[in-house]
Structure 1
Amino acid sequence: MKPMTKVSICIYLIGTVSQSSMASEYHFGGFLKANARYVDGNIAFQDSWTGGGSVTDSAKRSQFSAAESRFNAGITHGDVYGFAEIDFSGSAQGNPAFSNSYSPRLRHAYINYQDFTVGQTWSTMVNTSAFAETADLGGPLVGQAMVRQALVRYSTESWQFALENPYTYGTQAGSTNADKKWVDTSNDYVPDAVIRFNQKGDWGNVSVASLLRYLDPQGTAQFGAGVSLAAKLKTVGKDDIRLQLHYGNLGRYVGTDAARDMVSGEIETTTSAMFAYRHFWTERTRSSLFYGHTITEQEQSNRFHAGVNLFTNLTPALELGFEIGRYQIDDGLSPYEDIPAPQGASNYAQMSLQFHI
């Protein structure tokens, strides 16, 4: 998405200490987004395609929505910076029968002080510059690292070291699709550790991250590890390539429900990739061609999302986008399942109008 225009208000509080030491600066931002979405196929309708989904006999639906609208506020006070952001996506409260009243969803709430970040924000595994520009919220999530969670992170110019919230997403030994026994997360007591190296220049940026995990549901005591490469690379003119490659015991960190951390008590191994090329037709008009794919070893998941779009800025703050694409599930037969593997696909078209605050 296009960077948000910020509105800043400086408020000076005068007390018994010096005025400069009490100065706070407030920043407000976000956007209003209106979507019109049409889906036709046999994967159940989703507001935006995640790496999950269920196969049905037929799924044909149109939906208009403004729930992706987003608001944020930042506060700077000396060396301390705080940031909070909400949107309304995924709310279970509203529906067309009850005035579409959606409840807020917390996206970010964190504090920066010197080289430390504490609170909820993007996982250190996530390089947001490598997200494709799409009308579908988040882009090809099935091939991306896309996690926000509570963490403690120390950053230097090139390195980041973090301890992040532990959580095991998956099923217990002996679990089947007909009788899913979800992992007891009360035994998640060792934080996930992430180390990341960043490099940037006039050519763009690249990051390499590694994840170390200790998963101990039901006392199984299994260690997991994974690696991630993400980059945004400038090409001709204003064009760029955005890519992500992920491999290992990444589970919930990659694919947004395409992969679990554990399947029937066994740690999962995931291979994921995302590629997008953005081309500028004019100064105001551009297109992105994108593709995301995840496969897993234990559960035999095999899912992809591909699409192409056209965006144009009607004004510097108002952009109109149109996108067509396809989301497909081609799962193989897992040894832990007792029913046929899901197979299906849905095509979609989406128009969005976005006003940056």
Structure 2
Amino acid sequence: MLNIKTKALTAAVVLATAPQAFAGYEFDLGDGNKLSFGGYIKADARYVDGDLKYQDYWRGNNPGFEDTSHTHFNVKETRFNTKYTHGDVTAFIEMDFYGGDGNEVATNSTNPRLRHAFVKYKGWMAGQFWTAFTPLKAFPDSLDFGGPIVGEVFVRQPGVRWSGGGFTISVENPETWGGDTPTGGNSAGGGSNNIDADEDTPDLIATYGFKGDWGEVQVGVLGRALEQGGIDETAVAGNIGGKINIGKDDIRFQLNVGESGRYVGAGMVQDVVIDPVTGEKEVEDTTAFTVAYRHLWSDSWRSTAYYGEATTDVLEYDRSHWGVNLIKQLTPALSVGGEIGQYSVDDDLGENGDSSYFQLSFKFGI
């Protein structure tokens, strides 16, 4: 017999901070088989004013300089997921709607985008998920999608990993971005420029997690083989990040150092760059961090203040993002909140500017 359960939704603290959406409904298919369905609907109203072009959310890139005063409504962060469980086997798939824009004149259509798709068996996982280099507990409770992405490890990609005893070892999709390499055939799905089409060594990641009543912290090391037009180097980076509980409140943080390239800032800096002084290709070195403090005012009100910044060595980029929000949990599944903040680009070798924003968000967990 098919049984359907509606999972109890906990307070906003869980709903709004999970790096992937929870499953809200569970179907018992019998014989140890279960099918879960979940996600959330999120509606954002966003106003941006300043020197940088409007973006639906701030990441580590330079969006371009222009006088901006722009209001935009969207539901692109809305996501759906399904999970199938059969004994020790779990299969999970999730999508949101940041895949591409339709026109705003009539339909405001947006395309679905694959976020996660993986299979887990005991300690093994194969498929697409957040890179193992990401300290998931470090993501802040923000209304701007991802919060201070500029300072975060923010990559989802295919790979194979093993986890056990606090350790995770992962081999993941290699991709060298930058220099003057023309777009390769393997970029057909994304259309990015300067992607290397010939890579044979997977990215290697090792992490170890500490956890207890006090919170959870992960340390990680990333190693990559960068082979691109005269560059043949091993790039190494490290990070530490997590969440520290302070009563009902918490502090979330991460620190990233080394040759992380595309792994930090979701497009802030390429792996291989052209030194503007010497004209030579160099592997870029990045230092990035985020810190966020979340305070529970009551069972239904909470706030988070966060800051993230990243700097690079060769191109001398310096970009930052801060935000402060206030969120009201109207029901166990429905929240509404407002957030103010500012994103800044301060590149020593280029223009400087910033844009401030206000965002109002409604979020309903399915």
TM norm structure 1: 0.90
Letter in 2 for 1:122: W
* 1:6 maps to 2:14: no
Native 8 Å contact 1:55 1:344 kept in 2: no
Of residues 215, 224, 232, the one that matches 2:243 is 232
Q: Tell me the residue number matched to 1:274.
A: 290
Cα separation, 2, equivalents of 1:247 and 1:203: 25
Q: Gaps (5+ residues) in structure 2? A: 1-15, 182-191, 275-280
- d(CA) in 1 for partners of 2:177, 2:120: 29
1:87 to 77, 80, 96: 96
Alignment counterpart, residue 167 of structure 1, candidates 172, 175, 184: 175
* Separation in structure 1 between the aligned mates of residue 51 and residue 245 of structure 2, nearest angstrom: 38
Q: What are the Cα deviations for residues 8-38 of structure 1, in whole angstroms up to 9, with x where unaligned? A: 00113xxxxxxx3xx4200111000010000
Separation (CA, whole Å) in 1 of partners of 2:139 and 2:68: 28
Structure 2 partner of 1:43:
52
Separation in structure 2 between the aligned mates of residue 247 and residue 37 of structure 1, nearest angstrom: 32
Q: Please show how residues 1-357 of structure 1 align to structure 2 within 5 Å.
A: 1-2=16-17, 4=22, 6-12=24-30, 20=31, 23-89=32-98, 91-172=99-180, 183-235=194-246, 237-264=247-274, 265-333=281-349, 341-357=350-366
With the length of structure 2 as denominator, give the TM-score of the two structures: 0.88
Query: Structure 1 counterpart of 2:337, which letter?
Result: G
Paired positions, count: 332
CA separation in 2, counterparts of 1:75 and 1:56? 46
Which structure 1 segments of 5+ residues have no match? Answer: 13-19, 174-180, 334-340
Other-structure match for 1:16: none
CA contact (8 A) 1:184 1:218 kept: no
SS in structure 1 opposite 2:197? helix
Cα displacement string for residues 254-280 of structure 1 (whole angstroms, at most 9, x for unaligned residues): 111122111022101000010000011
Q: CA RMSD in A?
A: 1.5
Following superposition, the deviation at residue 84 of structure 1 comes to: 0.2
Instruction: Note closer, same or farther for the CA distance 1:78–1:192 as it changes in structure 2 (3 Å cut).
Output: same
Structure 1 residue 184: deviation in Å?
Answer: 4.6
Shift of 1:187: 2.1
